[in-house]
Amino acid sequence: MSTATAIEIAGLVKRFRREMLRRDYTTWKSLLLRPFKRRTDADYLTVLDGVDLSIEPGRTIAIIGQNGSGKSTLLKILAGIYKADQGTVTVKGRVSSLIELGAGFHPEFSGRENIYLNGTILGLSKKEIAARFDEIVAYSGLGDFIEAPVRTYSSGMYVRLGFAVAVNVDPDVLLVDEVLAVGDEAFAHKCETKLNQFKAAGKTIVLVSHDLISVKKFADEVVWLDGGKVAARGEAAQVIDIYRQGVARREDETGRAQAEARVAELAAARRWGQGEVEITGVRLLDEAGQAHAVFTSGGPMNLEMDYLMRQPVDDLVFGVALNNSAGVLCYGSNTAIDQAELGQAPPKGTVRFAVQRLDLVPGTYTVDVATHAGDGRAYDYLTQVASLSVRGGPRDEGIWRPPHTWSLTARGDKA
């Protein structure tokens, strides 16, 4: 191990027993009934699967990743709360973790008593706490409430007090788990200032967060943890970008899987009509004919529906509607309104609704499709048969984005 690292992780593997995750504890009864039950690999869930990471002193590293990717487990191992199953973890210096704020607070005790209690738990001596007491109280901003029992505190006050004690431990390595997300704006600002002070003082900070904006602001480096492995590591903006793409790709995959599953359930609820012309499949495709669930705002999108004529009809109309997540109809049209010339429909076929520019603002939308008669009577009407996410584009608001430009003209008196 090189001497220039504050944290050194090599080949770290962490497994949890599934029984424990299910809270299915061993009891004397189960022990008596099956004393020698063998555990197989299926009984374990591997949360961290070979993580290698070395962090130099004075760096601020952010760990990002989706829920269940092992971020918090990694942090707990660094804090010494969990034990590694394989591999080695070395942390140099005094560690303070902002994983749990206010550990050991007693609700009936005053803020003052709890500062001493919590400080002692975090490893401060009585003298050290006394020396920092005024600073802690000032920092928590609790004022006279410091003499009131902690049970009377709002959750924001509770967190503020816990944070005030924790940051006064004066650590070499600070572990932060999502604490920036709690508290009001003033508190968030204080946290920010404090983290910057730590950075300036040359402390090593490891932070776990879903808030990519604050990650970008604080971190020198970002590590993307995916499925218990380091998927990417490097400069913040770059890794965040890779991460975002990865997440979008995965969302797209699950969305497609769901769309396929949906088609099989077309007969289910949210459907009406006599069924003369049945819709047998719906697909959302890109221009290359690839199925997707995520589309780019302003880009193309194709919707295909397969139909099957159970009875011959001569006035067949195909319709499509897009609704946003609030249920607001964003766009709806059909072949009759659009006066589309499709010719005589064969008994079995596929209709394509091609959108050249999907000018919807980013969000999640659902799709309704229908076949009906010229007078509007439904043959087959399916609501929310597919859903799609619209991504990208500027951060504008509303429902749709009309193609637009801005310009400015001077309006002088003598013009």
Q: For binding to other proteins (CB under 8 A), which residues are involved?
A: 16, 20, 25-29, 31, 76, 79-83, 95, 97, 99-100, 103-104, 106, 108-109, 116-117, 120-122, 125-126
> Strand pairing partners for 377?
none
Backbone angles phi, psi at 254, to 5 degrees: -65, -35
> Strand pairing partners for 295?
390
Q: Of the candidates 195, 218, 222, 235, which has an alpha carbon nearest to the alpha carbon of residue 71?
A: 222
Asked whether the beta carbons of 355 and 260 are under 8 A apart, the reply is: no
| First-to-last C-alpha distance (Å) of the chain | 75
Smallest separation (angstroms) from other proteins to the CB of 122: 7
Q: Which is nearer to other proteins, 95 or 259 (CB)?
A: 95
Q: Quick one: angle between helices 155-167 and 111-121, nearest 10?
A: 40
Smallest separation (angstroms) from other proteins to the CB of 55: 18
Residues in the chain: 415
CB within 8 Å of 10: residues ≥ 6 apart: 52, 87, 88, 89
Smallest separation (angstroms) from other proteins to the CB of 98: 10
CB within 8 Å of 188: residues ≥ 6 apart: 180
Tell me the three state secondary structure of residue 150: helix
Structure tokens at 284: 């959302």
Q: Which is nearer to other proteins, 80 or 374 (CB)?
A: 80
Smallest separation (angstroms) from other proteins to the CB of 79: 5
Q: Which is nearer to other proteins, 31 or 181 (CB)?
A: 31
Q: Which is nearer to other proteins, 15 or 244 (CB)?
A: 15
Give buried/exposed letters for 280-319 (b at 16+ CB in 10 A, else e). Answer: ebbbbbeeeeebbbbbbbbbebbbbbebebeeebeebbbb
Smallest separation (angstroms) from other proteins to the CB of 30: 9
Q: Which is nearer to other proteins, 27 or 67 (CB)?
A: 27
Smallest separation (angstroms) from other proteins to the CB of 292: 39
Q: Which is nearer to other proteins, 169 or 378 (CB)?
A: 169
Smallest separation (angstroms) from other proteins to the CB of 348: 57
Backbone angles phi, psi at 82, to 5 degrees: -105, 155
Q: Which is nearer to other proteins, 126 or 357 (CB)?
A: 126
